[in-house]
Amino acid sequence: MWLIKENGFDKEHIIHRGNQFIIGHMKLGVRGTLDEFRRAEKVAITLPFVYDQVGDGWREPVNAFNPLFSEVIIDGKPLNVLNGHVISHEQTLDMKNAVMSRRSVIQRGDYQVTIESSRFVSSVDERLIISKFQVSIDKDIKIVIKTGIDIDIWDINGKHIEDVKLSEKGYLKVEGVTHEKGHLITCLKEITPLFENSKVKIEKNNDGIFYGIEIDAKKNHVYKFESFAVIGVDQENDDLENKLSEVLHEGYHKRLEKHSQIWNQKWDVSNVIIKGDDAADVALRYSIYHLLLLAPQSNSQSIPARGISGQTYKGAVFWDTEIFMLPFYLNTDLVSAKRIILYRIQGLPGAKQKAKSYGFKGAFYAWESQEDGFDACTDYNVTDVFTKRLIRTYFKDKQVHISGDIVYAMKMYIDRTKDFSILKDGALEVILEVARFYLDYGHYSILKNRFEIWDVMGPDEYHERVHNNAFTNQLVKMVFESVLDYEEYFESENDSYFNDMVEKLSYHHELELINKYKDLVYIKEIEDSLVIEQFDGYFNHKDINKDELFKLKLHEHEYLGGQGLAGDTQIIKQADVISMLYLFKEKYSKEVIKNNWEYYEPRTEHGSTLSASMYALTSCMISHPDHAYPLFMKSATVDLTGKSKHFAGGIYIGGTHPAASGGAYMTAIFGFSGLSFNQGIKVNPKLPQSFENISYTVRDKGKLYKVNVDRNESKIMEEKD
Ligand code: BGC
């Protein structure tokens, strides 16, 4: 099943469909809005990793001009799904080829208009949007097709492109510069054929530049054109005209063929087939579709938390990428996996700068990372829905686990690929600087003879400024151990690189401390109940029922964390101890995992889409795949159903959720099929009742394997690459 289809039109679903039907790649995100839609319907042609800030507003990725705008005008008035009577409407995403299409039949007065269009963003590394558009009417009537480049852009925090110039040079052209860094953004568009027997006028106004094609339409005749648009940023602009004429020459279908070939190759190594449960099969494929869209395209790219779906979350990279998405790329696409690591290596100067700004040594990575590791996170991330005042949040300054998450990812990359060269490419320096940061941030308690980490925020963001968060402390221990493991590795290789780095970074004292503290990092006790306390004093918080707490809310979007309703209770936003148990599974027994699952799940809001998959994965580990199943489906379908938080404390946080997509993939592969690599490639299936079989391809240490997991029998076969 390769098609995602929605029938019927409902204004309430416009924003969600924009996310659901997204196409593009890491250089260009095109929301799945309709041809006639504009700013109000949240059309966005997003340029990931091209950021801009206006005034004191949030720094966010730039939305480019929209060359997909087309509408039909009859009797002097546009006729579209927003103002006509919609007889039928169908929107489709062909995941196999990454093509979005729509077909709408709209009635006005005594005539019906049928509008059809399809679009794709060329998967070759370029910013090229190709589409086709057609219209037919069941009456002889004069129509105007208006198509062009819309410049009235949806921006969340300010107008990012200024000095906009419109021109017509045998094609339509718009250019402008970004406010902060003066990036030149250009968009060219041309359509073919330019209709014979029609009058074409050029319209230029505050909305953009358009062709107005006047046609004496004949009853049921189909009027169609193909549209080609290229978008350039800075030096890419030099070649735009050539690019446009090249694709004009090739046409829609030829270009689609090339694009599809690339997509088919991607699917060859990443598709997962679930037999017995069609809903799970398609939802998982949809999750993988998102991960394929988001493969980084250069060494200075990683994956933003809202993918390429717009400006939400400032287009920034969070821990989501390392912990929830990297495992997919490690199994299917090592080039992208390496880029995710290289992005953080490039971010080291930013991380050192951030640590310094708080008076610490070492590397404290950005909570919301933009280019060069710049932290876009502010001290006030949510608004009080009652007073409209900003609320102080501590994501940026206290969520110190981010640095450890990055080291965890580096270790995971090296363990899986045995590509130790990444250490010399900068990963070792990152690990050393992160360890230096933790040495400085934490402290050794003489009284307790242990290394403690105070004043942090764990993944559960509702409890602020806590001491000894179990998740964070495990990561700190892992970072210290990694330093010593890699010291040993270089020693065993007779390679002086480690010692040279110690010299270069004046690291002798740190190395001594790491040796001293690595076994003294305070790892939270397993209580008699086998439950691990999330942080010091958590068990003293009010133990209120989740539903009871939600009933106390006075506003649906009120912020629950910090001073909010959840702050002094045991209700947590998302998996915290449970995430720790998954990441450090080798250290804990099944019994411990089970008891913690049973304790924490009823106390978890799952207020972040990162939460469900951690519970699903751990549920498989304790042989409860049927408890995992609804959580897996929740992760896999979040962008299909649109059932996620769209607002947090008054701030719009909608968009796609690639960490949930990655979590769904992890649950299917590592949870249900029980894939592991520790002692060679192996499976230990925990199939939910509805699954008959799951099969997929996976890479490990230079080899490609076909894995087939059945209820009775599993096979792992090496494949030719
Ligand atoms: C979650 C974070 C996550 C961020 C981006 C927040 O709501 O609490 O853990 O990194 O969203 O997805």
**Mean pLDDT over the full length of the chain:** 96
Active site residue: 36, 461, 601, 605, which one?
461
As a whole number, mean pLDDT of residues 576-581 equals 98
What is the model's pLDDT at position 720? 83
Q: State how far the Cα of 136 lies from the Cα of 291, in Å rounded to an integer.
A: 37
- Give yes or no: residues 226 and 291 share one domain: no
- Give yes or no: residues 466 and 571 share one domain: yes
Residue ending a domain, among 214, 243, 268, is 268
Range of the domain at 230: 3-268
Helix pair 508-517, 428-441: axis angle to 10 deg: 70
Confidence of residue 26 (pLDDT cuts 50, 70, 90): very high
Work out which ligand 1 atom sits closest to the CA atom of 573. Answer: 8
Work out which ligand 1 atom sits closest to the CA atom of 306. Answer: 12
Is residue 628 within 8 A of residue 671, CB to CB? The reply is yes
Closest Cα to atom 9 of ligand 1: 459
- Give yes or no: residues 303 and 243 share one domain: no
What is the model's pLDDT at position 645? 75
Q: State how far the Cα of 234 lies from the Cα of 172, in Å rounded to an integer.
A: 18
Work out which ligand 1 atom sits closest to the CA atom of 320. Answer: 10
- Give yes or no: residues 174 and 302 share one domain: no
Closest Cα to atom 7 of ligand 1: 608
Q: Which of 78, 15, 73, 5 is nearest to 44 (CA)?
A: 15
Is residue 555 within 8 A of residue 528, CB to CB? The reply is no
Work out which ligand 1 atom sits closest to the CA atom of 648. Answer: 7
- Residue 461 catalytic? yes
- Give yes or no: residues 153 and 301 share one domain: no
What is the model's pLDDT at position 152? 95
As a whole number, mean pLDDT of residues 653-665 equals 95
Supply the CATH number for residue 240's domain: 2.70.98.40
Residue ending a domain, among 235, 253, 268, is 268
What is the model's pLDDT at position 176? 98
- Give yes or no: residues 491 and 601 share one domain: yes
DSSP H helical segments within 313-400, as ranges?
320, 326-332, 334-346, 348-357, 395-398
Residue owning tokens 């700068």: 353
Closest Cα to atom 6 of ligand 1: 608
- Candidate from 323, 326, 462, 608 with most ligand 1 atoms within 8 A of CB, to mutate: 608
- Give yes or no: residues 242 and 308 share one domain: no
- Residue 554 Cα to ligand 1 midpoint, Å, equals 24
- Give yes or no: residues 231 and 307 share one domain: no
- Give yes or no: residues 244 and 392 share one domain: no
Q: Is the pLDDT of residue 261 over 80?
A: yes
Helix (H, G, I), strand (E, B) or coil at 176: strand
- Whether 610 lines ligand 1, by a CB cut-off of 6 Å, is yes
* Burial bucket for residue 219 (CB in 10 Å: 0-12, 13-18, 19+): exposed
For the stretch 434-473, pLDDT in tens is 999 999 999 999 999 999 999 999 999 999 999 999 999 9
Is residue 655 within 8 A of residue 19, CB to CB? The reply is yes
What is the model's pLDDT at position 721? 77
Confidence of residue 558 (pLDDT cuts 50, 70, 90): very high
Residue ending a domain, among 240, 268, 296, is 268
Closest Cα to atom 1 of ligand 1: 608
- Residue 304 Cα to ligand 1 midpoint, Å, equals 11
What is the model's pLDDT at position 644? 81
- Give yes or no: residues 280 and 251 share one domain: no
What are the E-state strand segments in 473-533? none
Number of domains making up the chain: 2
Q: Is the pLDDT of residue 194 over 70?
A: no
What is the model's pLDDT at position 125? 72
Confidence of residue 650 (pLDDT cuts 50, 70, 90): low
- Give yes or no: residues 225 and 280 share one domain: no
- Give yes or no: residues 175 and 279 share one domain: no
DSSP H helical segments within 271-400, as ranges?
278-293, 320, 326-332, 334-346, 348-357, 395-398
- Residue 321 Cα to ligand 1 midpoint, Å, equals 11
For the stretch 69-93, pLDDT in tens is 999 999 999 999 999 999 999 999 9
What is the model's pLDDT at position 543? 98
Cα distance from N-terminal residue to C-terminal residue, the chain: 25
pTM: 0.97
Q: Is 700 left (phi over 0), alpha (psi -120 to 50) or beta?
A: beta
Confidence of residue 647 (pLDDT cuts 50, 70, 90): confident
Q: Is the pLDDT of residue 275 over 70?
A: yes
Supply the CATH number for residue 685's domain: 1.50.10.10
What is the model's pLDDT at position 313? 94
- Whether 574 lines ligand 1, by a CB cut-off of 6 Å, is yes
As a whole number, mean pLDDT of residues 290-315 equals 96
